[in-house]
Amino acid sequence: MKRAIFWTVVVALLALLPLVLRSYNLYLLNLAAVKIIAAIGLALLTGFTGQLSIGHAGFLAIGAYGTALLAQYAGLPFWVGIPVAGLLSGLAGFILLVPALRLTAIYLAIATLAFGTAVVEALPRWASVTGGYQGMSVPRESFLGVTVTRNDVAMFYLALVMVVVLLWVARNIVRSRVGRAFVAIRDKSAAAQACGVSLAKYKALAFFLSALYAGLAGGLYAHVVGYISPAEFGLGKSIDLFIMIALGGMASLPGPVLGALFLTYLPHWLSGFRGLQSIIYGSALIGVVIFMPFGIWGFVRKWTAPDKVQSLPWPLRAAVEFVRGGGGR
């Protein structure tokens, strides 16, 4: 109960942010929300189920283009377009299931890489619809008389709702029978099978969920930025997503959130350091990997372990214990 109140207060405080932040900062938060959603999706697949994917930007592209094209050609409003495009992306996730049932580890990674590349190559071929390499503008939409697309405040609330709902859903999945099946497959698929976990069924579910999350993130992205082009969904984006969950802590939900926030803000803080930003960025990543082998969240958990917390001064100790509550995982 206490924790429910705590999180309600957190969300309520976040909802007040548009009163103090200007549109640039809101826009960055919106971009962060897109990455958070996609990273949670990837964490479900890679972190919890142990299926490596480095073609995830392909699902983002399906979601983004799906939303934009549904708006442009079918006139579907965003609150229909984003979920429909997300579902489309989720169904596309089954494509990856075919190799995933036969391949493991790095070989699966190669297959997913091929998928990601194929999507990005296919989009510009259909230039009359997708606008080709030039990309396309996302049609402007209104909701209850307010322009929504490219409106940072409106998008902030949409992003907030999506993040809260999708995080909550992911948390419940992870703590359920399904989540335990995912972890069992990751840790030892043969043992999982011996315990009656259907590999095909749960892998399919993991791919579907992960692609669904990425698709929803893509749909949000299309309306936040208002412009999409194939080049944005290339290999670099897939690797970025992977770095996010590796950096934040893969097999956790706070991990991808922290990783996504870190990777959204770091480049912007560094954009003033001309010529040096790549070096600082690279060193920061290497530093995290060396000193926080289980990601940022792993690091936080290590330093808030019960024996460490005992030695903390009182106010800090109380805060940590309160937030941890009945176990964060």
Spatial separation of the C-alpha atoms in residues 122 and 44, rounded to whole Å: 27
Q: How many residues bind another protein (CB under 8 A)?
A: 32
User: Are the beta carbons of 255 and 295 closer than 8 angstroms?
Assistant: yes
State yes or no: residue 272 binds another protein (CB under 8 A): yes
User: Are the beta carbons of 77 and 143 closer than 8 angstroms?
Assistant: yes
CB 297 to another protein: min, Å = 25
- Among residues 9, 118, 121, 321, the one that binds another protein under rule CB under 8 A: 121
User: Which one, 121 or 321, has the nearer CB to another protein?
Assistant: 121
Spatial separation of the C-alpha atoms in residues 177 and 181, rounded to whole Å: 6
Tokens of 279: 């070096």
Binding track, positions 43-72, relative to another protein; x by CB under 8 A: ------------------------------
CB 215 to another protein: min, Å = 17
User: Which one, 104 or 278, has the nearer CB to another protein?
Assistant: 278
| Beta strands, E only, the chain | 136-137, 142-143, 146-147, 227-228
State yes or no: residue 18 binds another protein (CB under 8 A): no
Tokens of 59: 């699902």
Spatial separation of the C-alpha atoms in residues 213 and 208, rounded to whole Å: 9
State yes or no: residue 268 binds another protein (CB under 8 A): yes
CB 242 to another protein: min, Å = 17
Binding track, positions 76-115, relative to another protein; x by CB under 8 A: ----------------------------------------
Amino acid identity of 144?
L
Cα atoms found within 13 Å of the Cα of residue 284, Cβ hemisphere only? 19
Q: Give the burial class of 285: count Cβ atoms within 10 A of its Cβ; 0-12 exposed, 13-18 middle, 19 or more buried.
A: middle
Say which residue the tokens 């009182």 belong to.
314
The radius of gyration of the chain's CA atoms, rounded to the nearest angstrom, is 20
CB 257 to another protein: min, Å = 19
Binding track, positions 123-162, relative to another protein; x by CB under 8 A: -x--x----xxxx-x------------x-x----------
CB 276 to another protein: min, Å = 9
Residue among 61, 17, 44, 31 at smallest CA distance from 265:
31
Q: What number of H helices and E strands is found in the chain?
A: 17, 4
Spatial separation of the C-alpha atoms in residues 78 and 74, rounded to whole Å: 11
- Among residues 267, 287, 293, 328, the one that binds another protein under rule CB under 8 A: 267
- Among residues 14, 15, 17, 23, the one that binds another protein under rule CB under 8 A: 23
Angle among Cα 249, 43, 233 to the nearest 5 degrees reads: 110
- Among residues 274, 310, 311, 326, the one that binds another protein under rule CB under 8 A: 274
- Among residues 14, 15, 17, 27, the one that binds another protein under rule CB under 8 A: 27
User: Which one, 30 or 304, has the nearer CB to another protein?
Assistant: 30
Which residues are at the interface with another protein (CB under 8 A)? 22-24, 27-28, 31, 121, 124, 127, 132-135, 137, 150, 152, 221, 225-227, 229, 231-232, 267-268, 270-272, 274-275, 277-278
